[in-house]
């Protein structure tokens, strides 16, 4: 239908011809150097050429016509043709300012002057300075109001991006919308739940946004606010990240080549105590998995299993855990070919990534190939641009959770090594002392076994692209049709080897503790995922000067958006032939499942911008959406927005004040968002009974159907809601942009106040209702915040420039209310019954930790139970902190000295706590630094009392004298026994300062470059994340990590045994243009 409209539109064609001659000229900068490939256009015509490498151009133009000369990073200039020969054009270097064009909602380019809300833009150089393989990793700490975190040290892992705080309580939905060249880009996580279950995803296969090749990106613009994004509708309630890809430019063919190679090493590891060795309860025990033994004395001792009447010996002294890790390597190569003429431009690129992480073996490895082809064609009044991108990805990634009883994850094994056990010896995991039978402890598995025998792989093919056509009916009126899609197919395999200690062996119970290790029965799982987005827009635009003071800019459009996701999983549990991974290889029948989800949305929208005297711009916009995921009779929602921009520096004459730009902005926006599919109607589900905490991923005692050849269904435990309403986000934003001293200093500040209402959440309800959850619109979350970006150029001479950018953001987050009767919503737990909860509580920031906590006497003394020697646990859990940060700030410096450029950036995030699974396990095993407390001598908990009930029924407090004995020492640090104190030990301050990157670039002299026929040649040495400062109270992990996805639940921290360490990177990049 829409295509037909476009075809109809061809019937109206306009053609302009003029009396012309050949005009020649040259474009230079103020230093007299050529501006290569500048664009030269004859005003009010389509005649466009590109200058050559030396800045020379030839164009057909009549005398008296105006030439418009533009080039990246230079101010556009107009020149009237008088003499056709040797026109000399000097372009001025353009600093950030008003003339800048920004991409706004729906991919519409707009002069920044007209924009009444905060935007932040980054060009390719800023994105790729330290050669990341994920396009947003280079912007960490560089955008005020954006929290960008890398969630693990594993290649291909997920990145989390949150703009202006968390607004959505339930079910994720806090990620921004990614739009690439006007088409939404899927950010789906192709995570795969553990075999046969519905627990947390087993491995992190990365999020969709990370697939985009950073080398292909021309520009990233971040629209943080609702006001800026509301025209995008439902998907954009958390802001939009607009990606503009590189395109060909008219002129001769240009080849760009970039090659980078780096080494990665393990970053922060938990700091261990170095005083006590293997054992438990103060006793040396050969088969223990903890460091609760005697003091390390350096003396030679036998260790491990007795095999063939022999035993190994080693000194009883601390070993280095770093020995476990390897150097990782990563190479990333990109080549692009681009060019074109005045009608058609093309851009083709190919990039690859080969990355192998810090774990020995190839259990952590990413291979990625990206291909892109883009064209732009203009024919008379019709222009068409296309983009086609293909990504092939092959990722191996280790499990993030224990897979009991099928196999194991690596970090659970690693943190269970006593400090004196030499990890690197275990690499020979088939050696008779370190194999399945005789590994030193039955409580864990040789980590190298896990590394080499278990793993997962995901191969994916992704195609995204678009076709975008514009027809100009007149200079004022045009119509645009854009259609695009994003299609991914991913195939995942997960394998776990089968093993069992041989009867009579050390780990079958023939050890000093008589403990037997449960066999790994092995498993194999395959999953195929398909994901697609289809998006179409038809937009009509009308631009008109209304007399000498007013301008009008109107657009209206219709949007069609559809997503589909499907998956098929099959798995076997228990292998017949060891190490043979095929669905046929089990005595047990394979289990399989599939899922399908579809949603569709239709939107109508309009926007008008009224300008007054180039100084005041008012934008009003509105959109109405119809969504398939809402009840069919109430599926429409409407939301308006408006923003105002006032260029005060155009209103007043500020020439002598040192103020080069003064702009004020104000905006109000509203967006509605629909629900996830299938939350409306009641259903049955196939029976699968788990006797476990749903958050833990551990499935104890599972019974599944069909059973005995009989299938069975049960009423879905979640009650759907046939009155479901959309989520509405409203935001008010005010801000200012000021530039001083010929643009050398600038400030951009914004204040916003955002409320997200009617959150869709499955509220836990009493099981006695027959259900566990009720889908409801609940609660209001408020985010208010301040964002400041300050930039300056303290030094600007012909040979030296120094630019710095400082960003500051602070967000006040608060859950204003929940549904009546609901005093909290549990977002996540540590998986232990009665342990730590991560909650949304009215009146507090979203993401509050409730922990078991001691009872205190009125004088503040801690009440200890004389039976246990540990504090009495308070009846209710206590709120002991928030995951929300106090503030974040970043500092970027770029110093150019002749042909050298040095840059570094710092990222500081202050405040907030997180749960650490690494802390949990290392406190349990006695490896954590904290466990050396009091030199492990028996102690009475300081300032403690016992409580008894007096004759009058009132509590009586007496001094506590019960000693935490040596045998009980380890229990002090463990949640099974000392609940009240041990749980809070697992919550740590997540403040950090990171030296994000340091780069040194040398632009090789032109003379050298030209010998290689290159226009530019540069070499960059870089380092990423190699300095990390954390508070002393966090001796455990890099606080950025999480293995709970990339939305709100990830703020909980690292779960299970944790994600393991992040990495430090050192590399070299060569860039060449021909």
Partner 1 sequence: MRISNKIVAYTTGLVLLLSGCKKQLDINHDPNNPPVDEATPQLIFPGAVMSSAATIGGEYAILGMLWSEFATEDAFSSQYRNLDSYSATGSDLNTNYGELYTGALSDYQLVLDKSVAAEDWNFYLMATVMKAYSYATLVDIYDQVPFTEALQGVANLQPHFDAGDVIYDSLINEIDVALGKDFSARTNSDPGTADFIFGGDMAKWMQFANTLKLKLYLRMVNKNDAKAQAGITALYNNGGNFLTEDAAISTFTSVPGKQNPFYAYNIFSLNTTNNLRASITFLNWLKENSDPRIVSYFGSPTAIGIHQGDFQNTTDPTYANAATFVQAPTDPVQFISGPESYFMQAEARERYFGGDQAKELYDLGVTAAFNFWGFDASGFIAPGGAYEYPTAGTFDDKLDAIITQKWASLPGSHALEGWLERNRTGFPKSSPVYSTDPSWVPGEFVIAKATVIGQNYPKRLVIPDEERSTNKNTPDQVPITTPVWWGK
Q: Please state the closest distance from residue 821 (CB atom) to partner 1, in A.
A: 7
Copy the structure tokens of residue 207: 């999020």
CB–CB of 469/384 below 8 Å?
yes
Element spanning 1008, H or E: helix 1006-1011
Please list every residue from 736 through 765 that binds partner 1, using CB under 8 A.
764-765
Q: Which stretch binds partner 1 (CB under 8 A): 149-157, 481-489, 714-722, 997-1005?
A: 714-722
The nearer residue to partner 1, 5 or 101, going by C-beta atoms, is: 5
Q: Please state the closest distance from residue 863 (CB atom) to partner 1, in A.
A: 14
556 binds partner 1 (CB under 8 A): yes
Bridge pairing between strands 251-266 and 1063-1073: antiparallel
The nearer residue to partner 1, 318 or 774, going by C-beta atoms, is: 774
Q: Which stretch binds partner 1 (CB under 8 A): 111-119, 715-723, 742-750, 1036-1044?
A: 715-723
CB–CB of 682/719 below 8 Å?
yes
When binding is defined by CB under 8 A, the residue of 34, 97, 172, 281 that contacts partner 1 is: 281
What is the pattern of x (binds partner 1, CB under 8 A) and - over residues 999-1038? ----------------------------------------
769 binds partner 1 (CB under 8 A): yes
CB–CB of 849/837 below 8 Å?
yes
When binding is defined by CB under 8 A, the residue of 309, 768, 797, 951 that contacts partner 1 is: 768
Q: Which stretch binds partner 1 (CB under 8 A): 203-211, 699-707, 778-786, 1035-1043?
A: 699-707
When binding is defined by CB under 8 A, the residue of 7, 15, 766, 1007 that contacts partner 1 is: 766
- What is the size of the binding site for partner 1 (CB under 8 A)? 114
Please list every residue from 178 through 197 that binds partner 1, using CB under 8 A.
196
Please list every residue from 460 through 489 that binds partner 1, using CB under 8 A.
473-474, 477
For residue 658, what is the DSSP state?
T
Residues 6+ apart with CB under 8 A from 207: 158, 159, 187, 188, 189, 1046
The nearer residue to partner 1, 145 or 293, going by C-beta atoms, is: 293
Kindly tell me the burial class for residue 711, based on how many C-beta atoms sit within 10 Å of its own C-beta (0-12, 13-18, 19 or more). exposed
Copy the structure tokens of residue 881: 């902190």
When binding is defined by CB under 8 A, the residue of 596, 900, 1008, 1029 that contacts partner 1 is: 596
The nearer residue to partner 1, 330 or 839, going by C-beta atoms, is: 839
571 strand-pairing partners: 525, 591
CB–CB of 264/328 below 8 Å?
yes
CA distance 459 to 493: 9
Residues 6+ apart with CB under 8 A from 1023: 130, 995, 997, 998, 1064, 1065, 1066, 1067
When binding is defined by CB under 8 A, the residue of 80, 428, 715, 897 that contacts partner 1 is: 715
Phi, psi dihedral angles at 136 (to 5 degrees): -95, -10
1 binds partner 1 (CB under 8 A): yes
For residue 519, what is the DSSP state?
P
111 binds partner 1 (CB under 8 A): no
The nearer residue to partner 1, 82 or 833, going by C-beta atoms, is: 833
The string of DSSP codes covering 239-302 is -EEEEEE----SEEEEEEEEEEEEEEEE---PPBPSSB-SBBTTB--TT-SSB-SSB----EEE
Phi, psi dihedral angles at 971 (to 5 degrees): -65, -25
In Å, how far are 106, 180, 206, 247 from 216, measured between CA atoms?
20, 11, 19, 9
Nearest one of 100, 105, 96 to 222, comparing CA atoms: 105
CA distance 842 to 600: 33
The nearer residue to partner 1, 604 or 610, going by C-beta atoms, is: 604
The nearer residue to partner 1, 319 or 971, going by C-beta atoms, is: 971
681 binds partner 1 (CB under 8 A): yes
Q: Which stretch binds partner 1 (CB under 8 A): 277-285, 456-464, 725-733, 740-748?
A: 277-285
The nearer residue to partner 1, 147 or 526, going by C-beta atoms, is: 526
502 binds partner 1 (CB under 8 A): no
What is the pattern of x (binds partner 1, CB under 8 A) and - over residues 832-871? -xxx-----------------------------x-xx---
591 binds partner 1 (CB under 8 A): yes
516 binds partner 1 (CB under 8 A): yes
The string of DSSP codes covering 733-764 is EEEEEEEETTTTEEEEEEEEEEEEEEEEEEEE
When binding is defined by CB under 8 A, the residue of 32, 767, 843, 953 that contacts partner 1 is: 767
968 binds partner 1 (CB under 8 A): yes
What is the pattern of x (binds partner 1, CB under 8 A) and - over residues 864-903? -x-xx----x-x----------------------------
Q: Please state the closest distance from residue 556 (CB atom) to partner 1, in A.
A: 7
CB–CB of 945/958 below 8 Å?
yes
413 binds partner 1 (CB under 8 A): no
What is the pattern of x (binds partner 1, CB under 8 A) and - over residues 633-672? --x-------------------------------------
Q: Please state the closest distance from residue 607 (CB atom) to partner 1, in A.
A: 15
Residue with tokens 């190490």: 579
When binding is defined by CB under 8 A, the residue of 34, 172, 360, 405 that contacts partner 1 is: 405
CA distance 784 to 795: 35
Copy the structure tokens of residue 484: 């695009």
The nearer residue to partner 1, 176 or 442, going by C-beta atoms, is: 442
574 binds partner 1 (CB under 8 A): yes
Task: Report residue 372 CA to chain centroid gap.
Answer: 23
CA dihedral sign, ordered 227, 230, 232, 235: positive
When binding is defined by CB under 8 A, the residue of 576, 692, 736, 893 that contacts partner 1 is: 692
The nearer residue to partner 1, 310 or 686, going by C-beta atoms, is: 686
Q: Which stretch binds partner 1 (CB under 8 A): 43-51, 482-490, 591-599, 854-862?
A: 591-599
């Amino acid at each position: 239908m829409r295509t037909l409209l476009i075809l109809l539109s061809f019937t109206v064609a306009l053609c302009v011809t003029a009396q012309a001659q050949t005009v020649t000229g040259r474009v230079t900068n103020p230093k007299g150097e050529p501006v290569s490939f500048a664009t030269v256009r004859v005003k009010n015509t389509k005649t466009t050429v590109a200058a050559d490498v030396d800045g020379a151009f030839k164009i057909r133009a009549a005398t008296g016509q105006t030439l418009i000369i533009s080039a990246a990073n230079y101010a556009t200039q107009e020149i009237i043709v008088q003499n056709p020969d040797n026109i000399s054009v000097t372009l001025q270097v353009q600093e950030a300012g008003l003339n800048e064009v920004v991409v706004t909602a729906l991919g519409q380019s707009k002069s920044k002057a007209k924009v009444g809300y905060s935007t932040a833009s980054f060009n390719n150089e800023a994105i790729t300075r330290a050669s990341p393989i994920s396009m947003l990793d280079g912007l960490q700490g560089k955008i005020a109001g954006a929290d960008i975190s890398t969630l693990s040290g594993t290649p291909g892992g997920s990145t989390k991006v949150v703009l202006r705080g968390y607004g959505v309580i339930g079910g994720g939905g806090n990620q921004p919308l990614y739009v690439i060249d006007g088409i939404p880009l899927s950010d789906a996580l192709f995570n795969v739940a553990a075999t046969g279950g519905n627990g947390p995803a087993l491995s992190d296969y990365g999020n969709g946004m990370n697939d985009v090749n950073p080398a292909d990106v021309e520009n990233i613009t971040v629209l943080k606010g609702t006001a800026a994004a509301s025209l995008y509708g439902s998907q954009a309630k958390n802001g939009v990240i607009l990606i503009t890809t590189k395109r060909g430019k008219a002129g001769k063919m240009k080849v760009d080549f970039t090659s980078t190679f780096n080494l990665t090493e393990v970053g922060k590891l938990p700091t261990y105590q170095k005083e006590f060795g293997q054992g438990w309860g103060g006793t040396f025990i050969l088969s223990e998995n903890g460091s609760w033994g005697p003091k390390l004395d350096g003396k030679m001792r036998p260790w491990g299993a007795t095999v063939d009447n022999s035993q190994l010996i080693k000194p009883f002294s601390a070993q280095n855990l770093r020995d476990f890790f390897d150097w990782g390597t990563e190479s990333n190569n990109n080549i692009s070919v681009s060019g074109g003429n005045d009608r058609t431009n093309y851009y083709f690129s190919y990039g690859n990534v080969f990355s192998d992480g810090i774990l020995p073996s190839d259990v952590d490895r990413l291979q990625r190939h990206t291909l892109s082809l883009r064209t732009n064609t203009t024919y008379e009044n019709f222009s068409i641009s296309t983009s086609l991108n293909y990504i092939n990805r092959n990722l191996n990634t280790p499990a993030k959770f224990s897979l009991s009883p099928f196999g194991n994850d690596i970090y659970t094994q690693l943190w269970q090594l006593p400090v004196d056990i030499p990890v690197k010896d275990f690499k020979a995991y088939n050696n008779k002392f370190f194999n399945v039978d005789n590994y030193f402890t039955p409580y864990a598995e040789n980590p190298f076994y896990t590394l080499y025998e278990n793993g997962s792989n995901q191969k994916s093919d992704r195609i995204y692209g678009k076709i975008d056509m514009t027809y100009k009916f007149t200079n004022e009126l045009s119509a645009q049709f854009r259609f695009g899609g994003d299609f991914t197919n991913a195939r995942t395999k997960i394998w776990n080897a089968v093993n069992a200690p041989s009867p009579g062996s050390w780990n079958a119970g023939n050890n000093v503790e008589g403990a037997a290790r449960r066999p790994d029965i092995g498993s194999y799982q395959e999953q195929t995922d398909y994901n697609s987005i289809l998006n179409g827009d038809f937009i009509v635009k009308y631009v008109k000067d209304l007399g000498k003071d007013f301008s009008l800019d109107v657009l209206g459009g219709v949007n069609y958006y559809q997503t589909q996701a499907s998956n098929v999983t099959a798995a076997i549990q228990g292998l017949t032939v060891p190490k043979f991974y095929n669905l046929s290889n089990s005595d047990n029948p394979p289990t399989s499942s599939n899922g399908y989800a579809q949603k569709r949305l239709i939107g109508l929208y309009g926007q008008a911008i009224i300008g007054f005297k180039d100084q005041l711009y008012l934008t009003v916009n509105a959109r109405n959406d119809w969504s398939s995921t809402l009840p069919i009779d109430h599926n429409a929602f409407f939301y308006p927005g408006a923003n105002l921009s006032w260029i005060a520096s155009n209103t007043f004459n500020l020439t002598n004040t040192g103020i080069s730009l003064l702009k004020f902005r104000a905006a109000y926006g509203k967006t509605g968002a629909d629900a996830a599919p299938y939350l409306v109607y009641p259903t049955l589900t196939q029976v699968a009974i788990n006797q476990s905490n749903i958050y833990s991923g551990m499935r104890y005692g599972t019974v599944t159907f069909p059973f005995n050849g009989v299938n069975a269904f049960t009423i879905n435990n979640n009650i759907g809601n046939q009155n479901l309403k959309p989520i509405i986000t409203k935001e008010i934003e005010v801000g200012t942009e000021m530039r001083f001293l010929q643009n050398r200093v600038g400030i951009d500040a914004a204040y916003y106040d955002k409320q997200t209402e009617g959150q869709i959440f499955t509220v836990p309800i009493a099981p006695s209702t027959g259900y566990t959850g009720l889908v409801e619109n609940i609660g209001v979350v408020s985010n208010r915040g301040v964002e400041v970006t300050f930039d300056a150029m303290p030094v600007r001479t012909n040979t030296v420039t120094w630019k710095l950018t400082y960003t500051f953001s602070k967000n006040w987050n608060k859950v204003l209310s929940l549904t009546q009767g609901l005093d909290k919503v549990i977002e996540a737990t540590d998986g232990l019954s009665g342990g730590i909860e991560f909650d949304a509580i009215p009146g507090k920031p979203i993401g509050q930790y409730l922990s078991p906590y001691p009872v205190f006497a009125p004088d503040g003394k801690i009440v200890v139970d004389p039976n246990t020697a540990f504090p009495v646990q308070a009846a209710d859990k206590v709120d002991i902190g928030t995951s929300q940060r106090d503030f974040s700030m970043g500092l970027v410096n770029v110093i150019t000295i002749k042909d050298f450029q040095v840059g570094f950036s710092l990222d500081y995030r202050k405040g907030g706590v997180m749960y650490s699974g690494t802390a949990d396990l290392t406190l349990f095993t006695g490896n954590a630094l904290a466990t050396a407390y009091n030199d492990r001598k028996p102690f009475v908990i300081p300032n403690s009392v016992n409580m008894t009930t007096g004759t009058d029924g009132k509590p009586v407090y007496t001094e506590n004298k019960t000693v935490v004995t040596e045998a009980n020492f380890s229990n002090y640090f463990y949640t099974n026994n000392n609940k009240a104190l041990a749980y809070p030990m697992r919550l740590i301050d997540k403040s950090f300062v990171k030296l994000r990157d340091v780069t040194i670039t040398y632009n090789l002299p032109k003379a050298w470059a030209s010998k290689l026929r290159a226009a530019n040649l540069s070499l960059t040495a870089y380092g990423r994340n190699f300095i990390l400062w954390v508070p002393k109270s966090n001796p455990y992990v890099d606080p950025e990590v999480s293995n709970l996805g990339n939305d709100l639940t990830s703020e909980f921290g690292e779960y299970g045994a944790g994600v393991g360490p992040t990495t430090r990177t050192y590399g070299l990049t060569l860039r060449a243009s021909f």
